[in-house]
């Protein structure tokens, strides 16, 4: 048997967890489902160690979950380039590595994995060549996206089946909540998971929950929105096993969990607030209404992205619930033209069950598209 093709993925942390989180998920899936010899070269391993069990931030080289993980340091050590190279989020490759690629008789397949967007232009840019400016090295863009004309979304082979099995398994759900030190959801409450950026809309939303019709139990991973929670609770910011109650709202802090546990948290909650890219994608797979805190970009470049996602994901939905989701999403992201978030929450809460049904259909439609990792493997196999 010939050895499996080698893949090198290069990842840099720009900020937060998503850059490393996406690269790690891709690396894991390529190794587990495509039997590839995958190395992830990652600059900041500490970020990864927080979301990937078994990763030791002190090691420069290690094996975890089927992947070789190496700290990306400069000067970059001499390395034989792999058969396929992925530049995660266009952070670039080490110069010495690129030079080594150029010396090979047949250069590796080289992909620039871009950020996710639902905007229509992505379908035109996906797969386009991006030749190296100086060296005769072919390279192409790979855009994740929500249609068959893009690179698709990260979706493990058994993800949907695992989700459905977990949802049928009361004991597994109770075990998850017990592990998080949070009571399992009561039938009459709205269980919310909250992952967001520092967000000025959070305090007024907490006020609305406090005084609203629903009993809201909101679960927040440690380190998320700490400043706002600290201020809103007048220093009584919740800690694991020490919830905070006010009116109809209970806030539970939970530990920051591993990626796979985070998936289960999303599957077990009735409403998920997510952010960035990776948690946002995982919330699509949870197949329930979700609210996206989009990564803010200079010159408001994130607004068309948010609108494009809302346009695409609410296609075919009745105008009223679609408008409620749009208004609440825009309010959550700080749009000045949609009125107070408390009012937007009221409309959203009324539309939630319809939005849930639609989210289920949306997730089912997405789940029949080719997944990102398989698309990359197929594209690379033209050359490997």
Give the Cα separation of 284 and 312 in Å (integer). 12
Helix axes 259-268, 278-285, angle to 10 degrees: 50
222 is catalytic: no
Q: By C-beta, is 109 or 154 nearer to ligand TRH?
A: 154
Residue pair 141/130 in contact by the 8 Å Cβ criterion: yes
Nearest Cα residue to 45 out of 37, 54, 36: 54
Q: Which of 142, 262, 285, 345 binds ligand TRH (CB under 6 A)?
A: 262
Q: Which of 76, 141, 166, 256 binds ligand TRH (CB under 6 A)?
A: 256
Strand order in the sheet with 290-293: 244-246, 249-254, 215-221, 189-194, 271-275, 290-293
Q: How far is the CB of 188 from ligand TRH (least distance, A)?
A: 26
Q: Choose, from 8, 263, 277, 371, the residue flagged as catalytic.
A: 277
Provide the terminal-to-terminal Cα distance of the chain, rounded to the nearest Å.
Answer: 16
* β-pairing verdict for 215-221 and 290-293: unpaired
Q: By C-beta, is 324 or 372 nearer to ligand TRH?
A: 372
Q: How far is the CB of 364 from ligand TRH (least distance, A)?
A: 22
Q: How far is the CB of 282 from ligand TRH (least distance, A)?
A: 7
Q: By C-beta, is 90 or 247 nearer to ligand TRH?
A: 90
Q: Is 111 in the site for ligand TRH (CB under 6 A)?
A: no
Q: Is 139 in the site for ligand TRH (CB under 6 A)?
A: no
149, 263, 282, 367 from 160: Cα distances, Å: 22, 11, 11, 8
Give the Cα separation of 96 and 220 in Å (integer). 43
How many binding residues for ligand TRH (CB under 6 A)? Answer: 22
Q: How far is the CB of 341 from ligand TRH (least distance, A)?
A: 20
Can you tell me which residue has the tokens 């266009």?
Answer: 90
Q: How far is the CB of 305 from ligand TRH (least distance, A)?
A: 10
Can you tell me which residue has the tokens 């590796």?
Answer: 108
Q: Which of 29, 150, 259, 313 binds ligand TRH (CB under 6 A)?
A: 259
Q: Which of 145, 212, 238, 276 binds ligand TRH (CB under 6 A)?
A: 276
Could you tell me which residues come within 8 angstroms of residue 337 by beta carbon, excluding any fewer than 6 positions away?
Answer: 330
Q: Residues 1-20: x/- map of binding to ligand TRH (CB under 6 A)?
A: -------------xxxxxx-
Q: Residues 292-311: x/- map of binding to ligand TRH (CB under 6 A)?
A: ---x----------------
158 is catalytic: no
Q: Is 67 in the site for ligand TRH (CB under 6 A)?
A: no
Q: By C-beta, is 109 or 220 nearer to ligand TRH?
A: 220
Give the Cα separation of 289 and 305 in Å (integer). 18
Give the Cα separation of 267 and 261 in Å (integer). 10
Nearest Cα residue to 265 out of 348, 365, 17, 274: 274
| Buried/exposed 158-182: b ≥16 CB within 10 Å, e otherwise | ebbebbeeeeeeeeebeebbeebeb
Nearest Cα residue to 89 out of 142, 154, 163, 166: 142
Q: How far is the CB of 211 from ligand TRH (least distance, A)?
A: 27
Which segment (64-72, 232-240, 274-282, 339-347) binds ligand TRH by CB under 6 A? 274-282
DSSP conformational letter for 212: S
Q: Reduce the DSSP state of residue 8 to 3 states and report it.
A: strand
Q: By C-beta, is 237 or 322 nearer to ligand TRH?
A: 237
Q: How far is the CB of 355 from ligand TRH (least distance, A)?
A: 20
State which of positions 184-223 bind ligand TRH (CB under 6 A): 195, 221
Nearest Cα residue to 202 out of 279, 326, 291: 291
State which of positions 69-98 bind ligand TRH (CB under 6 A): none
Which segment (179-187, 255-263, 300-308, 337-345) binds ligand TRH by CB under 6 A? 255-263
> Under the rule (CB under 6 A), what is the footprint of ligand TRH?
14-19, 21, 51, 195, 221, 256-259, 262, 275-280, 295
Which sequence positions are flagged as catalytic? 19, 277
């Amino acid at each position: 048997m010939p050895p499996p093709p080698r893949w090198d993925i290069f990842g840099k942390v720009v900020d937060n967890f998503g850059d490393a989180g996406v690269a790690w998920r891709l690396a894991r899936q390529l190794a587990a489902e495509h039997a590839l010899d995958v190395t992830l070269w990652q600059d900041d391993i500490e970020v990864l160690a927080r979301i990937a069990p078994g990763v030791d931030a002190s090691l420069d080289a290690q094996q975890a979950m089927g992947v070789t993980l190496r700290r990306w340091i400069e000067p970059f050590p001499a390395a034989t380039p792999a058969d396929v190279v992925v530049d995660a989020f266009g952070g670039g490759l080490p110069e010495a590595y690129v030079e080594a690629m150029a010396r090979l008789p047949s250069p590796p397949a080289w992909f620039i994995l871009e950020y996710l967007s639902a905007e229509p232009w992505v379908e035109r840019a996906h797969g386009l060549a991006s030749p190296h400016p100086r060296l005769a090295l072919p390279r192409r863009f790979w855009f994740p996206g929500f249609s068959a004309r893009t690179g698709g979304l990260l979706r493990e082979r058994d993800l949907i089946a695992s989700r459905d099995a977990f949802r049928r398994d009361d004991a597994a759900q109770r075990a998850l909540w017990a592990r998080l030190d949070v009571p399992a959801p009561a039938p009459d409450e709205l269980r919310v998971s909250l992952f967001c950026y520092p967000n000025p809309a959070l305090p007024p939303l907490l006020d609305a929950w406090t005084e609203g019709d629903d009993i809201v139990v909101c679960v927040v991973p440690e380190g998320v929105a700490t400043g706002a929670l600290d201020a809103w609770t007048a220093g009584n910011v919740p800690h694991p096993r020490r919830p905070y109650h006010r009116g109809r709202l209970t806030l539970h802090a939970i530990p920051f969990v591993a990626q796979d546990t985070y998936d289960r948290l999303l599957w077990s909650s009735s409403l998920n607030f997510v952010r960035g890219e990776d948690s946002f994608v995982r919330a699509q797979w949870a197949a329930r209404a979700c609210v996206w805190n989009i990564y803010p970009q200079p010159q408001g470049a994130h607004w068309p992205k948010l609108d494009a996602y809302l346009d695409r994901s609410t296609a075919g939905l009745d105008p009223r619930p679609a408008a409620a989701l749009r208004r609440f999403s825009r309010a959550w992201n700080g749009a000045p033209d949609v009125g107070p978030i408390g009012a937007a929450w009221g409309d959203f809460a009324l539309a939630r069950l319809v939005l849930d049904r639609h989210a289920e259909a949306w997730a089912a439609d997405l789940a029949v598209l080719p997944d990102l990792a398989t698309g990359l493997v197929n594209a690379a196999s033209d050359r490997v």
